[in-house]
Amino acid sequence: MNREATLRDYYQAMLAALGPSRWWPGRTPFEIALGAILTQNTAWTNVEKAMHALRESGLLDPRALARLTDEELATFIRPAGAFRVKAARVRNFLLFLHRTCDLDMDGLRGETVETLRPALLEVSGIGPETADSILLYALGLPSFVVDAYTRRILNRHGLVPEDIAYGELREFFMDVLPPDPALYNEYHALIVRTGKNWCAKRQGKCPDCPLAVFLEEFSPLTCTGKSIIPHP
């Protein structure tokens, strides 16, 4: 299998069917980073409610947010779910920003993925997917984001094993694609849009999927049709 050619073919098929995604929503790098933390284990619609409450109160700024008590912070982000846990994670991220860039994310612009990613992963409550989302979407650095949709789609097409680790799945893309933040941004967004609309966990809608061309036959229950791409 020519992995680069295969991944580019998948990208072009999704882009042709869905058009540009224009992700990630947020007016500033900090808003995007905050959204990446709040969206853990919840729907984006819930995050929007929390972000709206913060915006209406003039708190979508790291310095303003840092002045809140833990209880006040938790109250504002309640709509995002697990609000006390997420308040602690936001606080940890604010402390990280205070140490590294005096609460000004523009101060991180000169960093690289190789130096900044390990530092983010040391922040309690920030895992690989959140760290990569902050790097890619908030800071425009070439760090590919993968998620459950990525694993599900590629596994159902016979490209990766079901139990592939996050790091291996990330490298599946980054090993062969150029370190282009715009490409990584759009690719991940297209995967999420495709996954949400066609590749559900229990039952896929393979015949209408933008990636149907890469399967030669379909199973109506599991969407695990025979792939026309050989397994790596």
Report the distance separating Cα 93 and Cα 124, nearest Å: 8
pLDDT value at 218 more than 90: no
Q: What is the pLDDT of residue 229?
A: 41
The pLDDT of 208-222, averaged and rounded, is: 72
Q: What is the pLDDT of residues 119-158, one digit of tens each?
A: 999 999 999 999 999 999 999 999 999 999 999 999 999 9
pLDDT value at 219 more than 80: no
* CATH class in words for 3-21+145-214: mainly alpha
* CATH class in words for 29-138: mainly alpha
**Which pLDDT band holds residue 226 (cuts at 50, 70, 90)?**
very low
0.85 surpassed by pTM: yes
Task: Name the residue ranges covered by the structural domains of the chain.
Answer: 3-21+145-214, 29-138
Report the distance separating Cα 132 and Cα 16, nearest Å: 26
Angle formed by the axes of helices 181-198 and 3-18, to 10°?
70
Contacts of 226 (CB under 8 A, 6+ apart): 158, 215, 216, 217
Report the distance separating Cα 164 and Cα 158, nearest Å: 12
Angle formed by the axes of helices 181-198 and 148-156, to 10°?
70
- Cα→Cα distances 198→72, 205, 229, Å: 39, 5, 19
**Which pLDDT band holds residue 217 (cuts at 50, 70, 90)?**
low
Q: What is the pLDDT of residue 43?
A: 87
Q: What is the pLDDT of residue 103?
A: 95
Q: What is the pLDDT of residue 223?
A: 45
What percentage of the chain carries pLDDT values higher than 90? 82
Q: What is the pLDDT of residues 29-73, one digit of tens each?
A: 999 999 999 999 888 899 999 999 999 999 999 999 999 999 999
Q: What is the pLDDT of residue 1?
A: 67
Picking from 115, 120, 113, 121, the residue whose alpha carbon sits closest to that of residue 144 is 113
The pLDDT of 189-206, averaged and rounded, is: 93
**Which pLDDT band holds residue 230 (cuts at 50, 70, 90)?**
very low
Q: What is the pLDDT of residues 66-86, one digit of tens each?
A: 999 999 999 999 999 889 999
The mean predicted confidence, pLDDT, of the chain is 91
Q: Residue 40 is encoded by which pair of tokens?
A: 């853990």
What percentage of the chain carries pLDDT values higher than 70? 93
